[in-house]
Structure 1
Amino acid sequence: MGTMPSDRKQPKKRSIMLKWSFANMLFCFLVFTTFVTISYQTSVLYFLDGEKNGLISVVDSVAKKLEMSSDKLTPDNIYKYLDYQEPTVLDNLYDEDGHVIKSAESVGIPGVGWRSFQVYDVSGQMIFTTQSASLPLANKKSTAPVIVTIDDQSGYITTRQIKSKKTGQVIGYLQSFNNLGFYYNIRNKLLFILIALEIVAMFLANFIGYFVSNHFLKPLSKLHAAMKKVTHSPSSEFEKVDIHSGDEIEELADVFNKMMYKTHDYIEGQERFVSDVSHELRTPLAVLDGHVNLLLRWGKDDPEQLKESLEASRQEIQKMSSMIQDMLDITRLKQSDEFKTEETVVVDSVTDLIHNMEMIHQSCHFDFEVKLDDPQAKAQIYQNHYIQALTILIDNAIKYSGEGESFVKVILSEDDKHIITSVADRGMGICEEDQAHVFERFFRADKARNREIGGTGLGLSIIANIAHMYHGSVSVKSELGKGSVFTLVIPKAELK
């Protein structure tokens, strides 16, 4: 045999808060990674571009000074073309072959930002340097700055061929090497800082995301708990879920509450219907059973007894049919919302109904009084329901008017928000004690008298349900021996 669905092993479920925090962390990781990559690459390119442009600018500036010479550049005349006042300003250095190299390591070049420069004569022999390092001439042609590594040091190197503006002859060479060691150090630190910030931000986003999702999803957890409670014990008393988040979750809770109220009303209506049917049909069924048994024993052979039993059975069946129909009407009213937007012109409806009643009950005198400002005033109610309620009230008024000519008066009036329908009679009346219970199911005042009149005791309960469905009310004022006045209050139709 197969196992029930509830017995199957349920897959492990993950908390939506964990999912949200993980998704938030992943999102932040992607965003910060993109940000770090863009920031890092932009910073690198911006710094390198700045270094390159600065190097070109300074090299061009120094080259212009050297191009003013008409003689070939030598250690003895180099000072004049670099704006030094006298040759003694420069220090003397010597290479491995004993050649003199003028050094400006301690003074720099006047009017030029600090850079590393070397000047070479036409043979490529270094004759001037701004630092103690001795770099060979990389190229005897003018070159754009490129990054090279010299003695484990990376940097930009560029070369200028120096031509005299006066003679047009090559008089020497200028070379500059810009060490990028400081830049690489800053770049590595920047990368480390950005990665560290990304990791911190990622975990911080995860931490904040978890608590933020916990805060926003708490109403959803409350709704979930209520649903689980209903699932585990559907027949228990429903407790409204109060959520005031001001968002879709609050709307979802409102929908859930309305759905559960309708469900409970439906279940309650079905249970009450079954209970009422089993309770109220017990007596007529017992009567039917008694007559059937009587007929089976000897009554079928007695024409008079046969006729009496069949007539009594027919009456009991009519009572049961009427009672079941009334109970079904009440159940349908509670479960239906489709008519709540319908509108009814009350004067026309009451006029037609009284005309029909006059045809049926010709011994009854009807009086209809209208106290409405607008004869086309509308009530917010489905016309069939309005006529059904009014029919029950008029039928009761006629039934309980006593012997002789009946009198029924219908009055239509209004207030600011409601249409008020009153049905008055001059019948036997209802005692004050019973007035509080007349709208209950199967309640019947003066039961001995009611057995003679007939009825199911459900008519006024149907009216009460109709009034409740349309957010109205029904009430009674009565005095024994003087009659009763039933008042049905229904909201006016909204102006469009």
Structure 2
Amino acid sequence: MMKIAKLYGHLPIRWKLAIWSSIVLFVLFVTYNSLQYYVLRTWMLDQEERNIQEKMKEIHAYFSDKPYRIDRTEIINSSRFLERASEMNELIRIFDKDGNLVVAVAAPGVARELIVTPIYNKDLEHFQMNGKHYLVHRTPFITPSFIGYIEIVRDLKNYERLRGLIFLVNVSAGAGAILLSGIGGMLIAKQLLRPIAALTETIRRIKSRGLKERVAHNINNRDEISELTSMFNGMMDDVESSFQKQKQFVEDASHELRTPISILEGHLKLLNRWGKNDPAVLEESLEASQQEVERLKKLVLELLELTRLESDRFEIAEEQIHPTPVIENIIQKMRVVHPDFEFTFANEANIENVQVKMAERHMEQLLIILLDNAIKYSGESKKMDVAIQHLKDSGEVAIEVKDYGIGIPKEEIQHIFDRFYRVDKARSRDKGGHGLGLSIAKRMVNNYSGKIFASSEEGSWTTFTIILKEAKDNF
């Protein structure tokens, strides 16, 4: 049994489908044919029994219609009627009350031994003799001059022949159907598994050629296999995109890390050669090295923050806050740090009582990122506008941060939330940016099921808009 199970486990799916379809069809055919055979056999036997009972009624009616007394002599003289009444393969005989045979009429097809062999059994029953099937019907026969019984025996060879034919037809039809089902199962399995075979082949090509391979499929199909193929292609698109982003991330991170490391290496070599004995060179190198270390520290912290936001370890705060006081507090801090900038806050809808679902520290971090980014790219302008409004129709809160600086080209807007992406890479590096702040902001907003987007006019202004869901009181 274990060997059979092991062998079955090694079979291809198409063979398993063919085997199981054959087994299921076999069970169905056996059940159906058995039921059909039983019904037909029962019906034919019932017909035979009805016919022999009708024959018995006919014989009784013949003797009942005679106007004179029925005695032994009259019964013997009725043999001509009994010969006419008997059918092929049928025996009719009359016994007296002592079981003595009075008259017997047998068709040519009936075995002779039945004529001289009395039957003392039930009124209507089946019996076997010499491998043949017989049906016997016995009823009492009583007249004023005679007491006995009438017996009709029918050879059921026609019934047996028809029954055997039906059995043979059922078996042959079942066997043919099972054979055809096996062949059909193989063909159907091959047809159904063709997309899976294509999927398997595509996976092999992906392993040897790369992530650009896809499974060809008809987009008009809506079955489960087509849905699986579509999901696989979509998954591979995501994997390829993620791989490309990861590759780009590694390249960008390597590039960002290479610059401060190269600067540190240069100053260390300078100190090692002659800077140790020159106080001016020593002080300059230490100061530059400290600046690069700070840059490295900030870059690593931003990378860790972004990784945390993109992982499952980021915990969504369950608290509700009023955004207006948080915004006012951050603006006040920015005014202290950047006294040369003008910050204005417009509470357009006076929504002090409206709350959003976000941790206060995350709201502060989000605003600092946007305001710091606006300050870096404000250009000659020193004006900054912050606004908040309540979108009552959609049950959302919108926060806008607008600067009047260098702006963003239209073709660049779709990339500004990518990691390490900077519109002006050279100027951004001079300003101390790494291109991670907006990526962190977008990931943070997404984690709270919000939206963030930017609009800009190059050389005039840039607006970042945050949309957060309003927190209900019954949250």
Q: 1:423 aligns with which of 386, 389, 401?
A: 401
Q: Where does residue 259 of structure 2 map in the other structure?
A: 283
Q: Where does residue 136 of structure 1 map in the other structure?
A: 115
2:259 maps to 1:274: no
2:22 maps to 1:47: no
2:334 maps to 1:370: no
SS across alignment from 1:429: coil
Q: Supply the distance in 2 between the matched residues of 1:473 and 1:424 (Cα, whole angstroms).
A: 13
Q: 2:180 aligns with which of 204, 222, 231?
A: 204
Provide, for residues 182-209 of structure 1, a one-character-per-residue CA deviation record: whole Å limited to 9, x for no partner: 1011111111111122123223333443
Aligned-pair CA distance for 1:59: 3.2
Q: 2:323 aligns with which of 331, 349, 358?
A: 349
Q: Where does residue 3 of structure 2 map in the other structure?
A: none
TM-score (norm 1): 0.72
AA of the residue aligned to 1:51: E
AA of the residue aligned to 1:477: S
Q: Supply the distance in 1 between the matched residues of 2:280 and 2:206 (Cα, whole angstroms).
A: 59
Q: 1:474 aligns with which of 447, 450, 453?
A: 453
Q: Where does residue 424 of structure 2 map in the other structure?
A: 445
Aligned-pair CA distance for 1:474: 2.4
Q: Supply the distance in 2 between the matched residues of 1:19 and 1:392 (Cα, whole angstroms).
A: 60
Root mean square deviation, CA, Å = 4.6
Provide, for residues 92-133 of structure 1, a one-character-per-residue CA deviation record: whole Å limited to 9, x for no partner: xxxxxxxxxx33366438xx9996422356783543537467
Q: Where does residue 4 of structure 2 map in the other structure?
A: none
Q: 1:32 aligns with which of 29, 35, 45?
A: 29
Q: Map residues 136-285 of structure 1 onto 2, 5 A cutoff.
A: 136-139=115-118, 143-148=122-127, 154-160=133-139, 162-164=141-143, 166=144, 171-233=147-209, 235-237=210-212, 239=214, 246=222, 249=225, 252-253=228-229, 256=232, 259-285=235-261
Q: Supply the distance in 2 between the matched residues of 1:218 and 1:60 (Cα, whole angstroms).
A: 69
Q: Supply the distance in 1 between the matched residues of 2:361 and 2:193 (Cα, whole angstroms).
A: 46
| Distance change in 2, residues 1:317/1:49 (3 Å) | same
SS across alignment from 1:352: helix
| Distance change in 2, residues 1:338/1:188 (3 Å) | farther
Q: Where does residue 299 of structure 2 map in the other structure?
A: 323
Q: Supply the distance in 2 between the matched residues of 1:251 and 1:431 (Cα, whole angstroms).
A: 40
AA of the residue aligned to 1:117: I
Q: Where does residue 96 of structure 1 map in the other structure?
A: none
Provide, for residues 234-253 of structure 1, a one-character-per-residue CA deviation record: whole Å limited to 9, x for no partner: x4236487677656556655
Provide, for residues 55-107 of structure 1, a one-character-per-residue CA deviation record: whole Å limited to 9, x for no partner: 35643664586589866412xx238xxxxxxx7xx7xxxxxxxxxxx333664
| Distance change in 2, residues 1:195/1:438 (3 Å) | closer
- Indicate conservation of the 8 Å contact 1:140/1:159, yes or no: no
AA of the residue aligned to 1:156: L
AA of the residue aligned to 2:400: S
Unaligned regions of 5+ residues in structure 1, if any? 1-10, 80-86, 91-101
2:373 maps to 1:396: yes
- Indicate conservation of the 8 Å contact 1:118/1:126, yes or no: yes
AA of the residue aligned to 1:358: Q
SS across alignment from 2:433: coil
- Indicate conservation of the 8 Å contact 1:432/1:478, yes or no: yes
- Indicate conservation of the 8 Å contact 2:91/2:115, yes or no: no
| Distance change in 2, residues 1:26/1:17 (3 Å) | same
Give the number of equivalent residue pairs: 451
Provide, for residues 222-279 of structure 1, a one-character-per-residue CA deviation record: whole Å limited to 9, x for no partner: 444444443444x423648767765655665566456545544443343223211222
| Distance change in 2, residues 1:57/1:351 (3 Å) | same
| Distance change in 2, residues 1:150/1:275 (3 Å) | closer
- Indicate conservation of the 8 Å contact 1:474/1:488, yes or no: yes
SS across alignment from 1:36: helix
Provide, for residues 139-163 of structure 1, a one-character-per-residue CA deviation record: whole Å limited to 9, x for no partner: 2756434445678754223445644
Provide, for residues 423-467 of structure 1, a one-character-per-residue CA deviation record: whole Å limited to 9, x for no partner: 2234x524759965765635353845x565432243345446667
AA of the residue aligned to 1:285: I
Q: Supply the distance in 2 between the matched residues of 1:446 and 1:224 (Cα, whole angstroms).
A: 44
Q: 1:16 aligns with which of 13, 17, 21?
A: 13
Q: Determine which structure has the larger helix proportion and give its number.
A: 2
Q: Supply the distance in 2 between the matched residues of 1:380 and 1:207 (Cα, whole angstroms).
A: 62
Aligned-pair CA distance for 1:39: 2.4
Q: Supply the distance in 2 between the matched residues of 1:353 and 1:188 (Cα, whole angstroms).
A: 95
| Distance change in 2, residues 1:196/1:371 (3 Å) | farther
Aligned-pair CA distance for 1:419: 5.2
Aligned-pair CA distance for 1:29: 0.7
Q: Which has the higher mean CA deviation after the structures are superposed, 309-318 or 270-279?
A: 270-279
AA of the residue aligned to 1:349: P
Aligned-pair CA distance for 1:410: 0.7
Aligned-pair CA distance for 1:316: 0.4
TM-score (norm 2): 0.75
AA of the residue aligned to 2:257: L
Aligned-pair CA distance for 1:473: 5.0
Q: Where does residue 117 of structure 1 map in the other structure?
A: 92
Q: Supply the distance in 1 between the matched residues of 2:354 and 2:193 (Cα, whole angstroms).
A: 49
Q: Where does residue 72 of structure 2 map in the other structure?
A: 73
SS across alignment from 2:289: helix
| Distance change in 2, residues 1:192/1:422 (3 Å) | same
SS across alignment from 1:281: helix
AA of the residue aligned to 2:150: L
- Indicate conservation of the 8 Å contact 2:322/2:356, yes or no: no
2:462 maps to 1:485: yes
Aligned-pair CA distance for 1:369: 1.4
Aligned-pair CA distance for 1:317: 1.0
Q: Percent identity?
A: 24
> Computing the radius of gyration over CA atoms, which structure comes out larger, 1 or 2?
1
Q: Which has the higher mean CA deviation after the structures are superposed, 294-303 or 378-387?
A: 378-387
Q: Supply the distance in 1 between the matched residues of 2:377 and 2:357 (Cα, whole angstroms).
A: 30
Q: Which has the higher mean CA deviation after the structures are superposed, 213-222 or 269-278?
A: 213-222
